[in-house]
Amino acid sequence: MYNKMLESIVTNHRFYRILGFTIVRQVIEKEEIHDLRSEVHNIFIDKKLTGSDMPVKIFLMSSKLTKIIFNKKIVNILKEIFGEPYVMLGYPQCVRNNFGSWHVDSGSEAMAPYLFSKKYGFAKCGIFLQSNNSKHGGSIRIRWFSHLLVYNRLPLPIRYIFQKLYSWLNFLLNHTVKLNAGDFIVFDSRLEHASEIPDGVKISDLEYGYLPQPHEHSKYVIYWDSCNVWSEKDFSINIMKRALMEYLSPNVNGFFPYLDSLSRSFPADFPADFVNDVNINNICIPTLKGEKLIKIKNLYTYVLKNNDSHKEFICNEK
Protein backbone atom coordinates (compact mmCIF):
# COMPACT_ATOMS: atom_id res chain seq x y z
CA MET A 1 0.00 0.00 0.00
CA TYR A 2 2.75 2.45 1.08
CA ASN A 3 4.94 1.46 -1.87
CA LYS A 4 2.08 1.92 -4.32
CA MET A 5 1.30 5.36 -2.95
CA LEU A 6 4.97 6.38 -3.04
CA GLU A 7 5.23 5.14 -6.61
CA SER A 8 2.25 7.19 -7.75
CA ILE A 9 3.73 10.31 -6.13
CA VAL A 10 7.31 10.01 -7.42
CA THR A 11 6.12 9.31 -10.96
CA ASN A 12 3.69 12.23 -11.04
CA HIS A 13 5.47 15.28 -12.48
CA ARG A 14 2.94 17.61 -10.79
CA PHE A 15 4.82 16.94 -7.54
CA TYR A 16 8.19 17.86 -9.10
CA ARG A 17 8.46 21.26 -7.37
CA ILE A 18 7.62 19.82 -3.94
CA LEU A 19 9.67 16.63 -4.19
CA GLY A 20 12.51 18.12 -6.21
CA PHE A 21 12.45 15.17 -8.61
CA THR A 22 10.25 13.02 -10.77
CA ILE A 23 10.71 9.65 -12.44
CA VAL A 24 9.52 8.38 -15.79
CA ARG A 25 9.52 4.60 -15.83
CA GLN A 26 10.81 2.58 -18.75
CA VAL A 27 11.72 5.24 -21.29
CA ILE A 28 13.83 2.51 -22.86
CA GLU A 29 12.22 -0.83 -23.57
CA LYS A 30 13.70 -3.84 -21.79
CA GLU A 31 14.85 -5.41 -25.07
CA GLU A 32 16.92 -2.30 -25.93
CA ILE A 33 18.79 -2.09 -22.63
CA HIS A 34 21.23 -4.88 -23.42
CA ASP A 35 22.09 -3.29 -26.76
CA LEU A 36 22.66 0.16 -25.24
CA ARG A 37 24.79 -1.19 -22.42
CA SER A 38 26.93 -2.98 -25.02
CA GLU A 39 27.22 0.24 -27.04
CA VAL A 40 28.48 2.11 -23.96
CA HIS A 41 30.88 -0.69 -23.01
CA ASN A 42 32.26 -0.95 -26.56
CA ILE A 43 32.87 2.80 -26.78
CA PHE A 44 34.81 2.76 -23.51
CA ILE A 45 36.89 -0.17 -24.81
CA ASP A 46 37.37 1.09 -28.41
CA LYS A 47 38.42 4.55 -27.29
CA LYS A 48 40.61 3.10 -24.53
CA LEU A 49 38.95 5.28 -21.92
CA THR A 50 40.30 4.35 -18.53
CA GLY A 51 38.20 6.32 -16.04
CA SER A 52 34.51 6.90 -15.49
CA ASP A 53 33.94 9.67 -18.07
CA MET A 54 33.02 9.46 -21.70
CA PRO A 55 33.86 12.89 -23.14
CA VAL A 56 31.10 14.89 -24.79
CA LYS A 57 32.62 14.70 -28.27
CA ILE A 58 32.77 10.90 -28.13
CA PHE A 59 29.25 10.65 -26.74
CA LEU A 60 27.96 12.82 -29.59
CA MET A 61 29.49 10.45 -32.15
CA SER A 62 27.07 7.67 -31.17
CA SER A 63 23.61 8.25 -32.63
CA LYS A 64 22.41 5.23 -30.63
CA LEU A 65 23.17 7.10 -27.42
CA THR A 66 22.18 10.62 -28.46
CA LYS A 67 18.77 9.59 -29.76
CA ILE A 68 17.62 8.40 -26.29
CA ILE A 69 17.81 11.97 -25.03
CA PHE A 70 15.04 12.84 -27.49
CA ASN A 71 12.77 10.06 -26.36
CA LYS A 72 9.18 11.37 -26.60
CA LYS A 73 8.33 10.59 -22.97
CA ILE A 74 11.41 12.50 -21.77
CA VAL A 75 10.89 15.49 -24.05
CA ASN A 76 7.23 15.78 -23.03
CA ILE A 77 7.90 15.61 -19.30
CA LEU A 78 10.68 18.22 -19.52
CA LYS A 79 8.38 20.53 -21.49
CA GLU A 80 5.70 20.11 -18.85
CA ILE A 81 8.13 20.90 -16.04
CA PHE A 82 10.11 23.72 -17.66
CA GLY A 83 7.74 25.04 -20.30
CA GLU A 84 8.42 25.29 -24.01
CA PRO A 85 11.02 25.66 -25.28
CA TYR A 86 13.06 24.13 -22.52
CA VAL A 87 16.78 24.63 -22.52
CA MET A 88 19.13 21.69 -22.98
CA LEU A 89 22.78 22.13 -22.31
CA GLY A 90 25.17 21.09 -25.02
CA TYR A 91 27.06 18.43 -23.15
CA PRO A 92 25.22 15.18 -22.62
CA GLN A 93 27.65 12.57 -21.39
CA CYS A 94 27.83 9.01 -20.21
CA VAL A 95 29.53 7.93 -17.00
CA ARG A 96 30.35 4.45 -15.80
CA ASN A 97 30.88 3.17 -12.27
CA ASN A 98 31.08 6.66 -10.84
CA PHE A 99 30.08 7.00 -7.19
CA GLY A 100 29.65 10.24 -5.32
CA SER A 101 28.90 11.13 -1.70
CA TRP A 102 26.22 13.62 -0.60
CA HIS A 103 26.27 16.88 -2.52
CA VAL A 104 24.12 19.32 -4.47
CA ASP A 105 24.88 19.94 -8.15
CA SER A 106 24.46 23.67 -7.58
CA GLY A 107 27.27 23.57 -4.98
CA SER A 108 29.61 25.70 -7.09
CA GLU A 109 27.01 28.49 -7.11
CA ALA A 110 27.39 29.00 -3.33
CA MET A 111 24.31 30.86 -2.06
CA ALA A 112 23.56 32.81 -5.26
CA PRO A 113 20.25 34.76 -4.98
CA TYR A 114 18.62 32.94 -7.91
CA LEU A 115 18.81 29.66 -5.96
CA PHE A 116 16.12 31.10 -3.68
CA SER A 117 13.83 32.22 -6.48
CA LYS A 118 10.43 30.62 -7.08
CA LYS A 119 11.23 30.69 -10.77
CA TYR A 120 14.35 28.57 -10.32
CA GLY A 121 14.34 25.74 -12.80
CA PHE A 122 17.63 24.00 -13.26
CA ALA A 123 17.90 20.24 -13.18
CA LYS A 124 19.98 17.18 -13.83
CA CYS A 125 18.50 14.60 -16.16
CA GLY A 126 19.64 10.99 -16.05
CA ILE A 127 18.82 7.74 -17.82
CA PHE A 128 19.90 4.71 -15.83
CA LEU A 129 20.90 1.57 -17.71
CA GLN A 130 20.70 -0.84 -14.73
CA SER A 131 18.34 -1.56 -11.90
CA ASN A 132 18.86 -0.47 -8.32
CA ASN A 133 21.31 -2.93 -6.78
CA SER A 134 22.95 -2.57 -3.38
CA LYS A 135 25.67 -5.11 -4.26
CA HIS A 136 27.02 -3.19 -7.25
CA GLY A 137 25.36 0.20 -6.89
CA GLY A 138 23.29 1.53 -9.74
CA SER A 139 20.79 3.98 -8.43
CA ILE A 140 20.66 7.24 -6.55
CA ARG A 141 19.85 8.42 -3.02
CA ILE A 142 18.16 11.70 -2.26
CA ARG A 143 17.32 13.71 0.86
CA TRP A 144 13.65 14.44 0.87
CA PHE A 145 12.80 18.13 0.45
CA SER A 146 16.41 19.28 0.87
CA HIS A 147 15.98 21.79 -2.01
CA LEU A 148 13.15 23.46 -0.08
CA LEU A 149 14.59 23.15 3.40
CA VAL A 150 17.91 24.76 2.56
CA TYR A 151 16.95 27.15 -0.22
CA ASN A 152 13.85 28.82 1.19
CA ARG A 153 12.89 32.49 1.50
CA LEU A 154 12.41 32.61 5.26
CA PRO A 155 13.95 35.62 7.04
CA LEU A 156 17.69 35.02 7.43
CA PRO A 157 17.87 34.27 11.23
CA ILE A 158 14.99 31.77 11.00
CA ARG A 159 16.47 30.20 7.90
CA TYR A 160 19.78 29.84 9.74
CA ILE A 161 18.13 27.96 12.65
CA PHE A 162 16.20 25.90 10.16
CA GLN A 163 19.33 24.95 8.26
CA LYS A 164 21.16 24.00 11.48
CA LEU A 165 18.31 21.74 12.53
CA TYR A 166 18.23 20.28 9.06
CA SER A 167 21.94 19.48 9.03
CA TRP A 168 21.63 17.65 12.39
CA LEU A 169 18.61 15.65 11.38
CA ASN A 170 19.09 15.21 7.64
CA PHE A 171 19.99 11.51 7.93
CA LEU A 172 16.30 10.93 8.76
CA LEU A 173 15.43 12.20 5.30
CA ASN A 174 17.70 9.89 3.30
CA HIS A 175 15.92 7.79 0.71
CA THR A 176 17.11 5.36 -1.97
CA VAL A 177 15.24 5.98 -5.21
CA LYS A 178 14.37 2.61 -6.68
CA LEU A 179 15.31 3.05 -10.31
CA ASN A 180 15.07 0.22 -12.82
CA ALA A 181 17.07 -0.24 -16.02
CA GLY A 182 15.64 2.16 -18.60
CA ASP A 183 14.15 4.65 -16.12
CA PHE A 184 14.57 8.39 -16.41
CA ILE A 185 14.92 10.78 -13.47
CA VAL A 186 15.00 14.57 -13.48
CA PHE A 187 16.00 16.26 -10.25
CA ASP A 188 16.39 19.83 -9.04
CA SER A 189 20.06 20.86 -8.91
CA ARG A 190 19.54 22.05 -5.32
CA LEU A 191 18.43 18.60 -4.14
CA GLU A 192 20.98 16.78 -1.99
CA HIS A 193 21.84 13.43 -3.50
CA ALA A 194 24.44 10.67 -3.45
CA SER A 195 25.09 7.47 -5.34
CA GLU A 196 23.83 4.14 -4.12
CA ILE A 197 27.20 2.73 -3.12
CA PRO A 198 28.06 -0.96 -3.54
CA ASP A 199 28.08 -2.88 -0.24
CA GLY A 200 31.37 -2.65 1.60
CA VAL A 201 32.78 0.17 -0.56
CA LYS A 202 33.97 3.43 0.93
CA ILE A 203 33.86 6.41 -1.41
CA SER A 204 36.95 7.84 0.28
CA ASP A 205 38.89 4.78 -0.97
CA LEU A 206 37.98 5.44 -4.60
CA GLU A 207 40.09 7.51 -6.93
CA TYR A 208 37.89 10.31 -8.27
CA GLY A 209 34.81 8.25 -7.41
CA TYR A 210 35.62 5.54 -9.95
CA LEU A 211 35.18 1.86 -9.05
CA PRO A 212 36.04 -0.53 -11.91
CA GLN A 213 33.48 -3.36 -12.18
CA PRO A 214 32.93 -6.04 -14.85
CA HIS A 215 30.66 -4.96 -17.70
CA GLU A 216 27.68 -7.08 -16.56
CA HIS A 217 27.69 -5.32 -13.17
CA SER A 218 28.76 -1.88 -14.36
CA LYS A 219 26.72 1.21 -13.59
CA TYR A 220 26.07 3.26 -16.74
CA VAL A 221 24.21 6.55 -16.64
CA ILE A 222 23.55 9.11 -19.37
CA TYR A 223 23.40 12.61 -17.90
CA TRP A 224 22.70 16.10 -19.14
CA ASP A 225 21.40 19.38 -17.74
CA SER A 226 18.16 21.13 -18.54
CA CYS A 227 16.53 24.31 -17.35
CA ASN A 228 13.75 26.77 -18.03
CA VAL A 229 14.33 29.89 -20.09
CA TRP A 230 14.41 32.05 -16.92
CA SER A 231 17.37 30.13 -15.47
CA GLU A 232 19.36 30.12 -18.69
CA LYS A 233 21.25 33.38 -18.07
CA ASP A 234 22.37 32.31 -14.59
CA PHE A 235 23.40 28.98 -16.00
CA SER A 236 25.50 30.56 -18.74
CA ILE A 237 27.39 32.75 -16.25
CA ASN A 238 28.02 29.80 -13.98
CA ILE A 239 29.20 27.55 -16.81
CA MET A 240 31.60 30.29 -17.91
CA LYS A 241 33.06 30.35 -14.38
CA ARG A 242 33.44 26.58 -14.38
CA ALA A 243 35.14 26.64 -17.79
CA LEU A 244 37.64 29.17 -16.46
CA MET A 245 38.21 26.94 -13.42
CA GLU A 246 39.11 24.11 -15.81
CA TYR A 247 41.66 26.42 -17.37
CA LEU A 248 43.09 27.53 -14.03
CA SER A 249 43.30 24.19 -12.22
CA PRO A 250 45.19 21.24 -13.65
CA ASN A 251 42.81 18.53 -14.81
CA VAL A 252 43.38 14.98 -13.68
CA ASN A 253 41.62 13.15 -16.50
CA GLY A 254 42.56 15.40 -19.36
CA PHE A 255 38.86 16.12 -20.01
CA PHE A 256 37.42 19.61 -19.98
CA PRO A 257 33.64 19.25 -20.24
CA TYR A 258 32.82 22.91 -19.69
CA LEU A 259 35.43 24.26 -22.09
CA ASP A 260 34.38 21.61 -24.60
CA SER A 261 30.73 22.61 -24.27
CA LEU A 262 31.27 26.34 -24.38
CA SER A 263 33.51 26.12 -27.41
CA ARG A 264 30.70 24.45 -29.38
CA SER A 265 28.42 26.59 -31.43
CA PHE A 266 24.95 25.36 -32.30
CA PRO A 267 24.26 23.98 -34.91
CA ALA A 268 27.72 24.12 -36.53
CA ASP A 269 29.57 21.95 -33.99
CA PHE A 270 26.96 19.23 -33.48
CA PRO A 271 26.19 16.13 -35.57
CA ALA A 272 23.39 16.59 -38.13
CA ASP A 273 21.09 13.98 -36.50
CA PHE A 274 21.43 15.69 -33.14
CA VAL A 275 20.65 19.11 -34.65
CA ASN A 276 17.64 17.67 -36.40
CA ASP A 277 16.27 16.17 -33.16
CA VAL A 278 16.81 19.45 -31.31
CA ASN A 279 14.90 21.39 -33.98
CA ILE A 280 12.05 18.89 -34.37
CA ASN A 281 11.46 18.93 -30.60
CA ASN A 282 11.72 22.72 -30.28
CA ILE A 283 14.51 22.58 -27.72
CA CYS A 284 16.81 25.53 -27.07
CA ILE A 285 20.59 24.99 -26.95
CA PRO A 286 22.27 28.22 -25.89
CA THR A 287 25.77 28.71 -27.25
CA LEU A 288 28.23 31.57 -27.39
CA LYS A 289 28.62 33.72 -30.49
CA GLY A 290 31.10 36.08 -32.13
CA GLU A 291 34.19 37.18 -30.27
CA LYS A 292 33.33 35.35 -27.01
CA LEU A 293 33.06 32.07 -28.90
CA ILE A 294 36.42 32.63 -30.63
CA LYS A 295 38.09 33.43 -27.29
CA ILE A 296 36.75 30.27 -25.65
CA LYS A 297 37.72 28.14 -28.66
CA ASN A 298 41.26 29.54 -28.46
CA LEU A 299 41.39 28.91 -24.72
CA TYR A 300 40.22 25.33 -25.20
CA THR A 301 42.82 24.71 -27.92
CA TYR A 302 45.51 26.16 -25.68
CA VAL A 303 44.49 23.95 -22.75
CA LEU A 304 44.42 20.80 -24.91
CA LYS A 305 47.88 21.52 -26.27
CA ASN A 306 49.35 22.10 -22.84
CA ASN A 307 47.79 19.26 -20.88
CA ASP A 308 49.90 16.12 -20.81
CA SER A 309 47.11 13.77 -19.82
CA HIS A 310 45.00 15.05 -22.68
CA LYS A 311 47.81 14.49 -25.13
CA GLU A 312 47.75 10.88 -24.01
CA PHE A 313 44.00 10.80 -24.52
CA ILE A 314 44.28 12.17 -28.05
CA CYS A 315 46.64 9.31 -28.91
CA ASN A 316 44.21 6.77 -27.50
CA GLU A 317 41.35 8.24 -29.40
CA LYS A 318 42.77 7.30 -32.79
* Residue 201 φ then ψ, to 5°: -100, 135
Stretch that binds Fe ion, among 15-23, 47-55, 100-108, 289-297 (CB under 5 A): 100-108
Binding Fe ion by CB under 5 A: which of 49, 66, 77, 105? 105
- Size of residue set near Fe ion by CB under 5 A: 1
Q: How far is the CB of 87 from Fe ion (least distance, A)?
A: 19
* Of residues 13 and 190, the one with the C-beta less far from Fe ion: 190
Q: How far is the CB of 193 from Fe ion (least distance, A)?
A: 6
Q: Before 155, cis peptide (omega within 30)? A: no
Residue 288 contacts residue 261 (beta carbons within 8 Å): no
* Of residues 101 and 213, the one with the C-beta less far from Fe ion: 101
* Of residues 105 and 234, the one with the C-beta less far from Fe ion: 105
The residue with its CB nearest to Fe ion is 105
Is residue 225 a contact residue for Fe ion (CB under 5 A)?
no
Stretch that binds Fe ion, among 31-39, 98-106, 140-148, 235-243 (CB under 5 A): 98-106
Which residue type does 167 have? S
Stretch that binds Fe ion, among 22-30, 103-111, 224-232, 253-261 (CB under 5 A): 103-111
* Of residues 190 and 264, the one with the C-beta less far from Fe ion: 190
Q: How far is the CB of 33 from Fe ion (least distance, A)?
A: 23
Q: What is the dihedral of CA 125, 87, 188, 40, to 10 degrees?
A: 10
d(CA 97, CA 216): 12
Q: How far is the CB of 102 from Fe ion (least distance, A)?
A: 10
* Of residues 261 and 307, the one with the C-beta less far from Fe ion: 261
Q: How far is the CB of 217 from Fe ion (least distance, A)?
A: 22
Strands 87-88 and 184-188: unpaired
Q: How far is the CB of 195 from Fe ion (least distance, A)?
A: 8
SS3 103: strand
* Of residues 100 and 267, the one with the C-beta less far from Fe ion: 100
Stretch that binds Fe ion, among 97-105, 220-228, 253-261, 306-314 (CB under 5 A): 97-105
Residue 132 contacts residue 180 (beta carbons within 8 Å): yes
SS3 318: coil
Q: How far is the CB of 56 from Fe ion (least distance, A)?
A: 17
d(CA 234, CA 101): 26
Looking at residues 257 to 316 of the shown chain, list those that interact with Fe ion (rule: CB under 5 A).
Answer: none
Interacting residue ranges for Fe ion, rule: CB under 5 A:
105
